[in-house]
């Protein structure tokens, strides 16, 4: 069961060979996917041989194999974690009933919407990152970018499989539409805001993979609890791949901080202008990038009060993060949760039914997880003997969704008026100058073992290869 059939045109462990209609439909979608990749995948990369991992099994021990491949020949396929025929629904109104092997008619529209929304983020990030290869700070980083790109492509496959297999004709139409929307396109944009923002430089890329791929982790974890068993199994396997994306973000930012800290010590200064002149990114700029990506990402969890969130939970479509590890009744009726709102120029907590606040619950779980990594970044500063620290902004800062979207809040959580906001916004969010400065540092460094001046080398290479391994062979 856990081994993947590679003799098929579409590698899979779902017995695709036995379902001729499905196989034919997916084989028709496949060339359109490749066209999409050629069109908006990593720029100029067609002839590169890249040292990539490919899933060969869903066995947690040894699921991947490393080797050189051309990205458009990557074996994108369909991999589900093994199922448990006896699995029971473990939350919501259907708790205790048998999990669904197929989509119940009454939940079809909601399930389709959730799968399409998740699926849409996968190609979106590939589009957002498509030009980054041209300014990679090292061959090691270039390889990591490409690894993330092919795996986001595979995540699209994972969602498209569910649409084709379980949603008939509308599923097939949705699968086509996933290849037609474009990140940032005025007429046909991607569904969610953060996935229409540009990822113009590598600091943005590392912040994106730290924060926004982590949003992916929390969404996938919530879907891995789903009563719709194929969705639970496919998202569980996606999570295996996702861990590397967040590692790239966390270690990437960490290496930027390490390099900046070294320059601060060398030059005995924390003055931004002197550090910039030395070609490293000053900490206030890193903080502003953090503020931006953090706030845009926490918006992705949706409105703090949402009747849809309640429906998704009660009907068993989407659970909470680590639902199975929680010790409450898993039904949540009559329970409450605190959300924030602005009242008379102040942020106040308000108690609301927990079922309606499940977006906020997931957002708060995400916040806890992200703060932990920021603490690890601060260790780098501590180790360098510097007193400076990075922080995550208040959760009401720079919000565009939910009850907080109508107010302006400073990073330390004060409601401010329009004048104070405009006077300070360039200290709180990346300014045009910040972005121009970071852009000015971006240049292609791709000789094995060489690194751009603004980032420290990693502690070790990929798959126990040396740091100066030739991860990408240019054609």
Q: What's the CA gap between 407 and 398, in Å, rounded?
A: 9
Residue 45 beta carbon to Fe ion: minimum distance, rounded to whole angstroms: 18
The answer to whether 378 touches 257, Cβ cutoff 8 Å, is no
127 vs 152 by CB, closer to Fe ion: 152
The answer to whether 408 touches 421, Cβ cutoff 8 Å, is yes
Residue 238 beta carbon to Fe ion: minimum distance, rounded to whole angstroms: 6
Count the helix, strand and coil residues of the chain and give each as a percent rounded to the nearest 5: 55, 10, 40
74 vs 451 by CB, closer to Fe ion: 74
The residues near 424 (Cβ < 8 Å, ≥ 6 apart) are 410, 416
**Judged by CB under 5 A, which stretch of 145-153, 194-202, 278-286, 467-475 contacts Fe ion?**
145-153
Q: Is 244 in the site for Fe ion (CB under 5 A)?
A: no
**Judged by CB under 5 A, which stretch of 146-154, 281-289, 421-429, 431-439 contacts Fe ion?**
146-154
Residue position matching structure tokens 């092997």: 101
Q: Is 259 in the site for Fe ion (CB under 5 A)?
A: no
Q: Which of 94, 143, 154, 155 binds Fe ion (CB under 5 A)?
A: 155
**Judged by CB under 5 A, which stretch of 45-53, 150-158, 338-346, 390-398 contacts Fe ion?**
150-158
Binding-site size, Fe ion (CB under 5 A): 6
Angstrom distances, CA of residue 50 to CA of 30, 33, 45, 232: 21, 20, 9, 31
**CA gyration radius for the chain?**
23
Can you give 210-229 as a three-state secondary structure string? Answer: HHHHHHHHHHHHHHCCCCEH
**Judged by CB under 5 A, which stretch of 4-12, 235-243, 283-291, 355-363 contacts Fe ion?**
235-243
**Judged by CB under 5 A, which stretch of 44-52, 109-117, 118-126, 420-428 contacts Fe ion?**
118-126
The answer to whether 116 touches 191, Cβ cutoff 8 Å, is yes
Residue 139 beta carbon to Fe ion: minimum distance, rounded to whole angstroms: 21
Name the packing angle between helices 283-299 and 432-441 (round to 10°): 110
Per CB under 5 A, contacts with Fe ion among 277-336 are none
Q: Which of 213, 225, 323, 360 binds Fe ion (CB under 5 A)?
A: 213
Residues that bind Fe ion (CB under 5 A): 122, 152, 155, 213, 242, 245
């Amino acid at each position: 069961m856990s081994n993947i059939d590679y003799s098929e045109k579409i590698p899979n462990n779902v017995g695709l060979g036995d379902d001729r209609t499905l196989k034919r439909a997916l084989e028709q979608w496949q060339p359109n996917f490749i066209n999409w990749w050629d069109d908006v995948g990593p720029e100029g990369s067609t002839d590169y041989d890249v040292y990539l991992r490919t899933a060969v099994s869903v066995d947690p021990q040894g699921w991947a194999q490393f080797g050189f491949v051309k990205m458009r020949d990557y074996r994108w396929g369909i991999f589900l974690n093994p199922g448990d025929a006896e699995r029971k629904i473990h939350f919501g109104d259907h708790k205790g009933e048998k999990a669904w092997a197929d989509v119940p008619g009454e939940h079809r529209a909601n399930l389709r919407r959730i799968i399409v929304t998740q699926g849409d983020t996968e190609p979106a990030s590939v589009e957002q990152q498509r030009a980054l290869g041209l300014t990679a700070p090292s061959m090691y980083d270039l390889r990591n970018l490409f690894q993330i790109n092919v795996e986001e492509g595979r995540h699209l496959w994972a969602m498209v499989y569910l649409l084709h297999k379980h949603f008939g004709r509308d599923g097939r139409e949705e699968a086509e539409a996933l290849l037609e929307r474009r990140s940032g396109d005025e007429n046909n944009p991607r569904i969610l805001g953060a996935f229409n923002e540009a990822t113009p430089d590598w600091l943005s890329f590392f912040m994106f993979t730290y924060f926004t791929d982590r949003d992916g982790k929390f969404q996938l974890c919530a879907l891995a609890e789903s009563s719709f068993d194929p969705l639970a199994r496919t998202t569980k396997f996606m999570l295996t791949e996702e861990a590397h994306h967040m590692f790239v973000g966390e270690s990437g930012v960490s290496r930027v901080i390490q390099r900046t800290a070294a320059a601060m010590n060398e030059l005995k200064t924390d003055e931004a202008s002197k550090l910039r002149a030395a070609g490293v990114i000053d900490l206030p700029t890193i903080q502003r990038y953090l503020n931006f990506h953090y706030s845009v990402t926490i918006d992705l969890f949706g409105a703090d009060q949402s009747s849809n969130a309640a429906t998704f939970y009660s009907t068993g479509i989407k659970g909470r993060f680590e639902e199975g590890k929680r010790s409450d009744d898993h039904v949540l009726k009559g329970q409450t949760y605190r959300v924030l709102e602005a009242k008379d120029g102040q942020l106040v907590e308000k108690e609301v039914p927990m079922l309606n606040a499940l977006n906020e619950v997931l957002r708060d779980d995400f916040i806890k997880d992200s703060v932990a990594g920021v603490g690890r970044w601060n260790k780098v500063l501590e180790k360098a003997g510097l007193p400076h620290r990075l922080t995550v902004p208040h959760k009401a800062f720079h919000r565009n969704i939910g009850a907080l979207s109508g107010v302006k809040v400073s990073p330390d959580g004060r409601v401010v008026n329009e004048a104070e906001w405009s006077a300070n916004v360039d200290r709180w969010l990346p300014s045009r100058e910040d972005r121009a400065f970071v852009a000015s540092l971006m240049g292609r460094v791709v000789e094995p073992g060489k690194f751009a001046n603004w980032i420290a080398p990693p502690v070790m290479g990929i798959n126990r290869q040396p740091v100066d391994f030739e991860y990408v062979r240019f054609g």
